[in-house]
C-alpha cells in the first residue's frame, strides 16, 4: 500500500504556530505553512548573520524566508525506497464479485522496515503468472536433473 499524508491546514483565523515548533537543520526538506505548504530545502538557519530560515525549492529557484521560531515549518516525510516484495505463507483468495485475486505479500524497505500488503491481480494476470511460474518450475526441474 502506498504511504499517504494529508494536508492539514489551520482553521480560519487560527495561528500557524500551533504545536511544538520544528527547528530544521541545513539541508532538511520542509513544508512552510505560511507559503501554503510550499516545500523547500533549508539553505540557511537562524544565526548571528541571519534572522530567519532561508529556503529554496528542491530543484532550485527563488529563495524565501521563514520565521526564526520555526513555527510555520513542518518536516516533509520522505518515503523509504522498497527493495522487494515477497509472498506471505497465506492463502491467496479470489473475489468473484470484484473479479480479482488477492495475494498477501510483505513489502521490504531499504531501512529494514517491513509492512504487509496485498497484491491484487486480474484474472488475465493470474493466468499469465501461472504460465510464467509453470515455466520457472520446469526450468528448476531441468537444472536439478542436469546437476545429477
Provide the residue ranges of all domains of the chain, joining segments of one domain with +: 29-75, 82-146
Kindly report the length of the chain. 148
Distance CA 80, CA 127 (A): 32
Q: What is the 3-state secondary structure (H, E, C) of 68-123?
A: CCCCCEEECCCCCCEEEEEECCCCCEEECCCCEEEEEEEEEECCCCEEEEEEEECH
pLDDT digits (tens, 9 = 90+) for 80-138: 899 999 999 999 999 999 999 999 999 999 999 999 999 999 999 999 999 999 999 99
Q: Of all residues in the chain, what percent carry a pLDDT higher than 90?
A: 72
Sign of the four-CA dihedral 28, 65, 39, 57: negative
- The pLDDT, as a whole number, for residue 19 is 57
Q: Record the pTM.
A: 0.54
Confidence at 11, pLDDT banded by 50, 70, 90:
very low
pLDDT digits (tens, 9 = 90+) for 65-85: 999 988 899 999 888 899 999
Angle at 40 between CA 37 and CA 43, to 5 degrees: 145
Q: Yes or no: say if 93 and 104 are a contact pair by the CB < 8 Å rule.
A: no
Average pLDDT, the chain: 87
Region of 120 please: left (phi>0), alpha (psi -120 to 50) or beta.
beta
Amino acid at each position: 500500500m502506498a504511504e499517504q499524508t494529508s494536508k492539514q491546514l489551520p482553521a480560519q483565523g487560527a495561528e500557524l504556530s500551533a504545536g511544538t515548533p520544528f527547528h530544521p537543520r541545513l539541508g532538511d526538506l520542509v513544508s512552510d505553512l505560511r507559503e501554503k505548504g510550499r516545500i523547500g530545502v533549508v539553505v540557511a538557519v537562524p544565526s548571528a548573520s541571519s534572522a530567519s530560515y532561508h529556503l529554496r525549492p528542491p530543484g532550485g529557484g527563488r529563495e524565501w524566508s521563514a520565521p526564526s521560531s520555526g513555527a510555520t515549518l513542518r518536516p516533509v516525510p520522505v518515503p523509504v525506497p522498497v527493495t522487494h516484495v515477497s509472498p506471505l505463507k497465506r492463502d491467496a483468495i479470489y473475489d468473484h464479485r470484484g473479479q480479482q485475486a488477492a495475494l498477501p505479500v510483505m513489502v521490504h524497505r531499504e531501512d529494514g522496515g517491513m509492512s504487509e500488503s496485498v497484491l491484487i491481480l486480474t484474472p488475465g494476470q493470474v493466468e499469465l503468472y501461472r504460465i510464467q511460474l509453470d515455466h520457472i518450475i520446469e526450468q528448476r526441474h531441468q537444472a536439478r536433473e542436469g546437476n545429477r
